[in-house]
Structure 1
Amino acid sequence: HAPLQTGSERLLRRMRRRYRPHHYASRILEARRLMPLAAIGADVMVGFPGETDEDFEENRRFIASLPFTYLHVFTYSARPGTPAAAMPGQVPMRVRKERNRLLRELAAEKNLAFRRAMVGRRLSAVTLGDGRLALTENYLNVELARPRPANELMEVLIGGLTPDGLREAAPAGAR
């Protein structure tokens, strides 16, 4: 998980962040190169004071260009006494909510693409709770073909998707 805040260079400066989008991107791409199956997520803010349509679009394109698995999208809210609360250009709440929705849609698309890329792969996982579900090493839930003992470390062949996770392939000859 790598907090981003925004992919807009102008807004990062306005937030007084010391990094720039190209610094962030190089680290995310290096993480993906070193760990091709890693789940990589980010915190992203929408509606920071002064955020224009152009800033938002720059942010959206930046996020779309990187190999994120999930995003924690949050909407800026003014906190009394903070420098940002006194900044001009407070973004209307309806605009903030729409931008949040758009980035959550992008996050869902990226997550689905990541999960689809897992189908046909063997992943290390540990069984959870009653043994009908496992958690992979890259933090994806897998519905198991048959229950297993809790806390069992295992390798699972991914056979398909569920609405928010993966499904283990049925053993050969099973119906």
Structure 2
Amino acid sequence: MTNPTARQTTQQTRPARRLTAAWLVTCCSLLMPMTAISCDNHGPGFGFYPMNKHLKSASDLSSPIAQGMALASKPRYTVAVGVTSEVPYTVIVPESFSDAKVLWQADDTVNLSGAYDQAIAPATDAELVLTVAPTKAGTYVVRGKLSGTLGGEQDSQSASKSAFILIKAVGEDGNLAKTTN
């Protein structure tokens, strides 16, 4: 025999479950387009330009201005701790840009030298070398930004391109990090 009160309770909660499921589907269908709008460098949810700008990211809005500029490198490098390694990267600056500059930054445990803070002449298509020397084992991000000014003095607009390099620093024994117990 079944308990009649248990059957009544199940029948009473069924509409509430359906309403909850419908609400969940509605929320998910509304949030999916919102998470698709994102910054090119970080992925969904980052880099939103201020509201009332049609929800475009800052990189989307500056990309027509920065067309022709390029800052590129291989995305991943594995280097030994304490050893100086060269990381080549490419810079392209069109003739219409002035005051172009490339700047690379990293954590304090990664020493940067070479062409990490350098002015770039207009009409440049060059391969430069960034020198990296990590002091501790681990994984580090080196962030690069190429910025410049398009146009003359009166109607100039600034533009920039970004790049990221993942540096994996391994110890002498090939381990990523040393742990002590």
Higher share in helix: 1
User: In terms of Rg, which structure is larger?
Assistant: 2
> TM-score surpassing 0.5?
no
Higher relative contact order (CA 8 A, sep 6+): 2
TM-score bracket for this pair, using the shorter chain length: under 0.3
TM-score w.r.t. length of structure 1: 0.23
